[in-house]
A = this chain, B = another copy of it.
Amino acid sequence: MGIVDQIVAGDLRTAARLLRDIDDQMPSARPVLRELYAHTGKAHVVGFTGSPGVGKSTLVDQLALQYRKKGLTVAILAVDPTSPFTGGAILGDRIRMQRHFLDPGVFIRSLATRGHFGGLTRSTNDMINVMDAMGKDVILVETVGVGQDEVEIAHNAHTTVLVTIPGMGDEVQAIKAGIMEIGDIFVVNKADREGSRKTIRELKNLVELGFRRKEENTWVPTIFETQAPKGVGIEELHEGILKHREYLLANDQGQLDRLLEKRARYQLTEAIRDEAYKAVLERLEGNGISLDALVQKIKDKEGDPYSIVQEVVGKTAP
């Protein structure tokens, strides 16, 4: 049985090896991904974003248990953009995998996002495709980060869950408004903390404000309170996520269609950026020009970066 067949059959070892190759940006992963693509498109991809410290990992673990109770298979992908510095050890798979160790229905992997940022979204995408082709019913994607990171992750998910906690200060309100458009579901975790009522109220106001003139068949973000370590509110949140999935599937206004198109566009443009850059570097090398020499020139102010780039991209292209 070839690699592709093994992965489609759900073989964990083969899948794990491929995922590691993707994280290491090995070119050997590409032909496999190419063939696997036809097997994707069945999983429900749920993205979780929010500041560090809000308890996303525990929330995701608890939700995985809910899916398992219903007999669904789950993959968890933890994207940790801070780990280029630590080798990915901190949010490592090992500790978390112990939790679901006896349950082969939960497949956990983390992406250490080595190398350049451009690689992050692309690798996330590739890994989701592998987990999807494996036949996982649900893929829970969790990212450490607020800001552009979560916007990028949201491009890869069908349902985006924004997690916050009480008492994060006024600035949070600004953030919430800013990313309101990418959040399908809002969660106030650690809801037993002081200020929980206030945070919930403010979120409700924001949603009401933002969706005052809602069109028919628009999804209005829903809000949930949870205490993840105690399991409080998890069932309700789980139902909420399933509701959003039903909405996407049932909606005859083409919501899912638009989402899939957006995802395809995103995958394509990210990949073109990456490959086009690599092609320029290769051609530079072929012409005997080293990147190091150009860096030195800019640093020493012998040239400005703007002219050098134009020259380099112009020179190496037809």
Contacts and interface: CB of A to CB of B under 8 A. Distances in A.
Please tell me how many copies of the chain the complex holds: 2
Given A265-B291, A268-B294, 20 more contacts: A38-B301, A51-B146, A52-B169, A55-B169, A85-B181, A117-B117, A118-B118, A143-B147, A144-B175, A145-B149, A149-B149, A261-B295, A264-B298, A267-B298, A267-B305, A268-B305, A271-B306, A272-B309, A275-B309, A276-B276
Interface in A160-203: 165, 168-172, 174-175, 177-182, 190
14 contacts: A30-B306, A82-B147, A85-B178, A85-B180, A117-B148, A144-B146, A144-B175, A145-B147, A145-B148, A264-B295, A264-B299, A265-B295, A276-B280, A283-B317
Interface string A22-55: 0000000010011101100100000000011111
A177 B146 contact: no
Contacts of A118: 118, 273
A277 to B, nearest CB: 4
Interface in A139-158: 143-149, 151-152
Given A51-B51, A264-B299, A283-B317, A34 B276 contact: no
Given A37-B304, A171-B53, A312 B149 contact: no
Contacts of A91: 174
A273 B268 contact: no
Q: Is the interface of A mostly helix, strand, loop or mixed?
A: helix
A16 interface: no
Contacts of A179: 82, 85
B34 A171 contact: no
B169 A271 contact: no
A72 interface: no
A19 to B, nearest CB: 16
Contact of A309 (B172, B175, B180, B271): B271
A263 B300 CA distance: 12
A303 to B, nearest CB: 9
B143 A174 contact: no
B149 A313 contact: no
A88 B206 CA distance: 17
A272 B261 contact: no
A168 B55 CA distance: 10
Nearest to A317: B279
A106 B66 CA distance: 54
B85 A272 contact: no
A98 interface: no
A217 interface: no
The 6 closest A-B pairs by CB, nearest first: A145-B147, A82-B178, A37-B304, A53-B169, A53-B168, A81-B148
